[in-house]
């Protein structure tokens, strides 16, 4: 019997996204060859107020004739970014917000963050793990070589926890990046800003690509 209802009916209820992603931050150079998930929940920022992924692109439109009509569209640039606001006010999370690799801050209540000493944000690896409401399927965003920027604003309130917003920007990670301290790798040549990987609950198999230079 045909469905009598019309409109955009749900096809698969297990694909609906509800809730926040877990954001994990780790070392970029040590994991640059790996194209699947390598960080764990212990690498997460902890409780978050929001998570927002965006992938933007800009295009040039070629026009000709009179009146002008469009002939073709050409890509100009693409960006990938994940924005979130962390609730856990730890030295590591604040270091990340200041563009500092947070791996050296291991205690939740001990540490120092310098103010007035701004510098180029360090490169980190970001993995966002979104688990669907069924508790099994996941959607995972990987930035193998990312930088964090933010204008730190922490608002204290009587009945709501403070949250500090940060922007995690995906940067090129392909083999054309030859920075000795923060290199790229051929594993990312066809996906230089990173990738989104869906998983049905089976265990990820980490893939590694190595390059040999003459």
CA distance 120 to 161: 30
3-state secondary structure 16-35: CCCCCCEEEEEECHHHCCEC
The whole-number pLDDT of residue 119 equals: 92
Model confidence pLDDT, tens digit, residues 96-115: 999 999 999 999 999 999 99
Model confidence pLDDT, tens digit, residues 123-162: 999 999 999 999 999 999 999 999 999 889 999 999 999 9
**Predicted TM-score of the model (pTM):** 0.90
The whole-number pLDDT of residue 2 equals: 66
136 neighbors 201 (Cβ within 8 angstroms): yes
CA distance 180 to 152: 30
The whole-number pLDDT of residue 179 equals: 93
* HSE value, Cβ hemisphere, 13 Å, CA-based, for 90: 17
CA 15 to chain centre: 20
**Backbone dihedral region for residue 49 (phi beyond 0: left; psi -120 to 50: alpha; all else: beta):** alpha
Q: What is the DSSP string of the chain?
A: ------SS--S-GGG---SPPEEEEEESGGGTTB-S----GGGB--SEEEEEEEEEEEEEEEEETTTTEEEEEEEEEEEEEEEEEE----HHHHHHHTT--GGG---TT-----SS---PPPPEEEEEEEEPTTSS-EEEEEEEEEEEE--------SSS---EEEEEEE---STT---SSS---GGGTTSTT-EEEEE-SSPP---B------
The whole-number pLDDT of residue 26 equals: 97
Domain extents in the chain: 17-56+79-199
């Amino acid at each position: 019997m045909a469905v009598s209802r019309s409109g955009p009916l749900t096809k698969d209820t297990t694909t609906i996204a509800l809730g926040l992603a877990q954001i994990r931050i780790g070392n970029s150079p040590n994991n640059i060859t790996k194209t699947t998930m390598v960080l764990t929940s212990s690498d997460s920022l902890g409780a978050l107020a929001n998570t927002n992924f965006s992938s933007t692109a800009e295009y040039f439109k070629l026009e000709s004739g009179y009146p002008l009509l469009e002939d073709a569209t050409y890509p100009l640039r693409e960006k990938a970014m994940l924005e979130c606001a962390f609730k856990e006010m730890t030295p590591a999370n604040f270091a990340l917000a200041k563009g500092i690799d947070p791996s050296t801050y291991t205690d939740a209540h001990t540490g120092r963050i310098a103010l007035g000493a701004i510098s180029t944000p360090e490169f980190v690896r970001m993995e966002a793990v979104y688990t669907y409401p069924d508790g099994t399927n996941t959607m995972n965003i990987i930035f193998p070589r990312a930088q964090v920027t933010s204008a730190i604003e922490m608002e204290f309130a009587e009945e709501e926890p403070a949250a500090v917003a940060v922007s995690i920007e995906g940067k090129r990670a392909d083999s054309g990046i030859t920075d000795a301290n923060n290199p790229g790798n051929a594993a990312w040549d066809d996906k230089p800003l990173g990738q989104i990987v869906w998983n049905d609950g089976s265990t990820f198999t980490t893939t590694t690509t190595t390059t040999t230079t003459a």
